[in-house]
Amino acid sequence: MNAFPFISLLTAVPLIGALGTLSFGARNKNFARNLAFSSSIVALALTLVLCYRFDSGSGELQFQELHSWIPAIGVEYHLGVDGLGLVMLLLSAIVVPMSIAASWQVKEGPQLYFSLILFLQAGLFGTFTALNFVHWFFFWELSLIPAFFLIRLWGGPQRATAATQFFVYTMVGSVALLLAFLAIFQCTNSFDFISLGELARNGQLIPALASKLGWHRLAAEIIALIIFCGVFLGFAVKVPLIPFHTWLPPAYAEAQSGTTMLLTGTMSKMGVYGFLRILLPIFCVEMRSVLTHLLWLAVATIVLSAFAALAQNDLKRILAYSSINHLGYCMLGIFAAARFTGDSAALATDKVAALDGVILQMFNHGLTAATLFWFVSLLEKRSGGLRGLNDFGGLRKVIPVFCGLMGIALFSSLGLPGLNGFIGEFLIFRGVFPLATWTAALAVIGLLVTAIFILTILQRVFSGPLNERWSTMPDLSIGERLALLPPIAIMFVLGLYPQLVLGVINSTVVKMVQQVRY
Amino acid sequence: MLAWTIYISFLGVLALLLPKVTPRAARIIALLTAVGGLATTLGGFLHRSDGTMITIIRVPWIPSLGIEYHLAADGISLVLLLLTGIVAIAGVLFSWNIEYRTKEFFAFYLALIGGVYGVFLSIDLFLLLVFYEIAIIPKYFLIAIWGSTRREYAAMKLALYSFVGSALVLIGLIAAYVVAGGKTMNLFVRPRFPFPLHFQMWAFPLVFIGFGILAGLWPFHTWAPTGHVAAPTAASMLLAGVVMKLGAYGCLRVAMTLFPRGLDSWGFHVLGFGSWRDVFALLALIGIVYGAMVALVQQDFKFVIGYSSVSHMGFVLLGLMTLSQVGLTGAVLQMFSHGILAGLLFAVVGRMVYDRTHTRDLAMLDKMHLYKFIPFAAATFVIASMASIGLPGFSGFVAELQVLIGAWSAFPLYAIGAGFGIVIGVAYTWRAMQKAFIGEAEGTSADHSLPPISIPERVGTLVLIGASLVIGLYPQLLLKLVIPALNSPLFSNLRKESW
């Protein structure tokens, strides 16, 4: 179990990079960003080694590390990855260098900026691998603080409000989550996700909660539901689900694009990851008892955010709402997979399809959304900060390469077959239709509206009469083209051969579905 | 060995009172004394593998009354001695710039430290009270002579509150002495005496409130913010960092072990309260939430920290009232953690910011964009405030975590209320941090000639952050002392089935 500590090493790389950038970067701007970039590349390389050594045939947790930490309160240093964790690690490892490249020209205090990004990466790596609540919470919170300062110090004009709103919302969620887990610990003496999942499967969790927390003669199910709500709130704010989303559009819009790439590409995945790793195995019964409401929330998230995106005028805000919309599909898949289906093998296959789709969608959305925000930042750089939907027009004629590549990313986000976005959404709908037919049908409205707002972007920005102001806008430089090549290439590769990711996650998902069968 | 912490401190006082001590020498003497105290504590700390009570010295003092000079330490005392040692060193480092009557300043400072060490080591209750009173006098002078805003008022208020508190304690203890037959007030012996239930029922709240006043128990907390604000930096650090812990320590060590049945159910309900435990738990919760809410609207930077102390001490008292191992452990850890972090916060506000800008008004600081000029102070404040609102990885988290775990089973609704308090805590620290350091308001950026952060300040900061980080990442260091101490026979009367 405690073989070579790969994952600890992986988490340590960005931490060391962050400290190095912070302490040695003050003298020389170039040095700071080179150091940060190379440290993120080392992390990527290590992640690839991890992928290579990962046994994708097994759905078990691998590379586990287990050490005693605070025995008095059941805290252990417990790490491990399965297919889900691995895909998330890979996503973070890919998005962070992209984000650093996108903020290459950051003006004020580059050493602080880049070290905050690396701290954030360490937080992400930790969150996606920790298996003990306290250990996991440590990283969950650790990632919050750099994100706050990235928004607060380098953001746009409304940054103070946006950053505070972001922080307070997430903190409220975190405190609810923390309180809920403390109550669970008080009743079960365990902080370990795996053993809590087992307790829940054996049906011991609810009686344990009820016997220790028998307040005011509430029924056992109600107590469990209250605890569930605390955990749910923590994740729902992070994803976010409507109506807990209001922090998101200002935060995404005000943050510098490099930061937004991280927020949408990786941090929003922390919430979805929490749903998959924690909520689904431990609180499956409670999820079922309020399943209808949850499905409505997912539908509301998908449909309302798509309409909201349609009503926006600012490219970043459109993409922000589109992020909510895309993660809504993930939520839909997860909630549908929680449905009780007994021993039906056919429905179990549907669940596998839905969850496969969810994880794929997490990866795809992370990549695509980060790339799109990158394009917006490049556009902003060329237009002197303008990014309104109506500020442009006819750019196709002036900057064809830019428009072509961004068009690919937009179509990927829309879910065009052949690009990565399609297969995730397809699998989700393929799984959800048999499990929750009406919900899936309603969610399709979201798909249609998404198509409308993405095509609107294409029309207003790229086509139409040329806005003369931009007739001299420079196209992508060679360096920018090269930098954008890898994410675009991954979009094609995954679109044509999704098996690359599906192969890694499938066993994990099959195991997950077995676990929620009870 | 540990007794030398007291003696070293008072020897330091004597050395400072020698004629011809220059201010520079005074600083060095004070620093050496503080380091000596910490070194002695660390020596004792490393020798101990468990936390049971071990007598250090025991000689008769007033035999006719059964009063002894009896010092002893268990895990809980050790943790607090360690805290005192660390904060004492940091306090000296952060008062390196005191020029006015330097000698006297450090003499009072060390006397206060000596008194505090004495309280944490005394096992004879009369001796404990003697040290307790010794600690009050220097506090008064430190504030009245070297203080700022309304210092005479604050010093007087603090002294009066402290004396009222110790008077309450004295009444309770003398009554106990008489009821028990007047032989001894030794904590080794006396808890075994079966005080009658009705006696414990009124003596417990008396003594608990007496000590609770110093611990910032709402509604007797009002001395704390004014005192903290008026005091010079080092004194605020000690007041918030250590002196408030004296109160909490007294609540645990004296009130709760001597009169454990005072916590039992009354057998009837008044306004929903069934026991003193319910009453004090509610007061603690009110302290947490009220302190945080008041901190949220302060205009004076130091008042924000002052009220935050009330809020954080509420966690200690709530932890005590859970009467479970995990809750009490959390309370002791929170004493340690708050001591370190409140010390650091006061150092940032009082020394790094106020001594440079000569203002603590958040509206003024808002215009100064301080993070550009003293980034070290800004970074320290961010770390310290994050740690004190319970960022995992720092000591505050493990402490609050355990208090809340304990609270879930004892008072579930209060656990939720305390969570609410944490959220307000985030809001007030964030508001203060943004206004003080990364202000948005237009205005004259501070005159660009702020003196840079000096070496002693940096060292002091590192010591305090290091201590919080070490305990946050490896709380086992303290837990292995605190838990056996709580499971020792001394606390046997507190342990019920829900322990």
Nearest CA in chain B to A183: B408
CA-closest candidate to residue A56, choices A513, A500, A492: A500
Tokens of A361: 């969608």
State the sign of the Cα–Cα–Cα–Cα dihedral A209, A214, A216, A222. positive
DSSP letter for each residue of A111-136? HHHHHHHHHHHHHHHHHHHB-BHHHH
Quote the CA–CA distance of A430 and A400 in Å, as a whole number. 36
Residues of chain A falling short of pLDDT 50 = none
Which residue is it, tokens 């304690």?
Answer: B169
What's the confidence (pLDDT) of residue B442? Answer: 67
Least confident piece of the model among A473-477, B255-259, B443-447, B461-465: B443-447
Quote the CA–CA distance of A326 and A425 in Å, as a whole number. 9
Give 3-state DSSP helix, strand, coil % of chain B, rounded to 5: 75, 5, 20
Quote the CA–CA distance of B205 and B213 in Å, as a whole number. 12
| Cβ neighbours of B434 in A, within 8 Å | 152, 160, 164
Would you call B391 and A141 a contact, using CB atoms and an 8 Å cutoff? yes
> Backbone dihedral region of B442: left (phi > 0), alpha (psi from -120 to 50 degrees) or beta?
beta
What's the confidence (pLDDT) of residue B52? Answer: 78
- Give bridge partners of residue B55 from the DSSP assignment: B72
Of A168, A176, A182, the CB nearest to B401: A182
Task: Give the length of chain B.
Answer: 499
Min CA distance, B425 vs chain A (Å)?
Answer: 10
CA distances to A244, A253, B273, B404 from B421, rounded to whole Å, are 21, 30, 22, 12
Min CA distance, B409 vs chain A (Å)?
Answer: 6
Which 3-state string (H, E, C) describes A230-276? HHHHHHHHHCCCCCCCCCHHHHHHHCCHHHHHHHHHHHHHHHHHHHH
Tokens of A54: 């990962």
Split at pLDDT 50, 70, 90, the class of B359 is confident
What's the confidence (pLDDT) of residue B362? Answer: 84
What's the confidence (pLDDT) of residue A214? Answer: 65
Judge whether residue B191 has pLDDT over 80.
no
CA-closest candidate to residue B399, choices B323, B319, B305, B306: B319
Of B329, B386, B408, the CB nearest to A145: B386
| Cβ neighbours of A182 in B, within 8 Å | 401, 404-405, 408, 415
Tell me if residue B317 falls in helix, strand or coil. Answer: helix
Q: Return phi, psi of residue B397, to 5°.
A: -65, -50
| Cβ neighbours of A18 in B, within 8 Å | none
> Angle of helix B4-17 relative to helix B23-47, nearest 10 degrees?
170
Of A70, A153, A182, the CB nearest to B398: A70
Split at pLDDT 50, 70, 90, the class of B275 is confident
What's the confidence (pLDDT) of residue B497? Answer: 67
Contacts of A478 (CB under 8 A, 6+ apart): none
Specify the DSSP class assigned to residue B72. Answer: E
Tell me the H-state helices in A384-419: 395-398, 400-414
Would you call B434 and A72 a contact, using CB atoms and an 8 Å cutoff? no
Contacts of A32 (CB under 8 A, 6+ apart): A21, A24, A25, A26, A110, A111, A114, A115
Quote the CA–CA distance of A367 and A491 in Å, as a whole number. 8
What residues of chain B, 341 to 400, have a C-beta less than 8 Å from chain A? 382, 386, 391-393, 397-398
* pLDDT tens profile B412-436: 888 889 989 998 998 898 888 888 8
Give the percent of chain B with pLDDT over 90. 27
Min CA distance, B176 vs chain A (Å)?
Answer: 36
Quote the CA–CA distance of B212 and B281 in Å, as a whole number. 12
Q: Return phi, psi of residue B266, to 5°.
A: -70, -25
Q: Among A22, A137, A186, which would you mutate to test the B interface (most chain B Cβ atoms within 10 Å of its Cβ)?
A: A186
> In terms of DSSP bridges, do strands B273-275 and B54-62 run parallel, antiparallel, or are they unpaired?
unpaired
Quote the CA–CA distance of A366 and A265 in Å, as a whole number. 4
What's the confidence (pLDDT) of residue A363? Answer: 93
Would you call A179 and B423 a contact, using CB atoms and an 8 Å cutoff? no
What's the confidence (pLDDT) of residue A125? Answer: 93
Of B404, B409, B438, the CB nearest to A153: B438
Specify the DSSP class assigned to residue A80. Answer: E
Least confident piece of the model among A365-369, B376-380, B488-492: B488-492
Q: Return phi, psi of residue B122, to 5°.
A: -70, 140
Kind plus residue range of the DSSP H or E element containing B57:
strand B54-62
ipTM of the prediction:
0.82
Q: Which residues of A11-26 are buried (b: 16+ CB within 10 A; e: fewer)?
A: bebbbebbebbbeebe
Quote the CA–CA distance of A237 and A449 in Å, as a whole number. 24
CA distances to A65, A476, B119, B140, B207 from A81, rounded to whole Å, are 10, 38, 51, 58, 54
* pLDDT tens profile B199-241: 888 889 999 999 999 998 988 988 888 888 888 888 888 888 8
Of B382, B405, B419, the CB nearest to A186: B405
Quote the CA–CA distance of A48 and A38 in Å, as a whole number. 15
In B216-289, beta strands by DSSP E: 265-270, 273-275
Identify whether the C-beta of residue A422 lies closer than 8 Å to the C-beta of residue A354: no
Identify whether the C-beta of residue A67 lies closer than 8 Å to the C-beta of residue A77: yes
Tokens of B25: 């020498």
What is the CB neighbour count within 10 angstroms for residue A500? 12
CA distances to B53, B93, B120 from B37, rounded to whole Å, are 20, 15, 13
Min CA distance, A469 vs chain B (Å)?
Answer: 33
| Cβ neighbours of A215 in B, within 8 Å | 412-413
Identify whether the C-beta of residue B422 lies closer than 8 Å to the C-beta of residue A197: no
Contacts of A27 (CB under 8 A, 6+ apart): none
Quote the CA–CA distance of B48 and B283 in Å, as a whole number. 36
Of A69, A160, A175, the CB nearest to B434: A160
Q: Which residues of A touch B (CB under 8 A)?
A: 69-73, 134, 137-138, 141-142, 145, 152-153, 160, 164, 167-168, 171-172, 175-176, 178-179, 182-183, 185-186, 212-213, 215
CA-closest candidate to residue A186, choices B393, B37, B385, B403: B403
Chain A touched by B426 (CB under 8 Å): yes
Kind plus residue range of the DSSP H or E element containing A68:
strand A62-70
- Looking at per-residue pLDDT, the higher value among A231 and B24 belongs to A231
Contacts of A404 (CB under 8 A, 6+ apart): none
Which residue is it, tokens 């990313």?
Answer: A409
| Cβ neighbours of A164 in B, within 8 Å | 430, 434
Which residue is it, tokens 């946006």?
Answer: A162
Judge whether residue B444 has pLDDT over 80.
no
Q: Return phi, psi of residue B183, to 5°.
A: -100, -50
Task: Give the length of chain A.
Answer: 518
Q: Among A108, A178, A190, which would you mutate to test the B interface (most chain B Cβ atoms within 10 Å of its Cβ)?
A: A178
Quote the CA–CA distance of B228 and B238 in Å, as a whole number. 9
Kind plus residue range of the DSSP H or E element containing B362:
helix B362-365
> Angle of helix B75-94 relative to helix B4-17, nearest 10 degrees?
20
Tell me if residue B119 falls in helix, strand or coil. Answer: helix
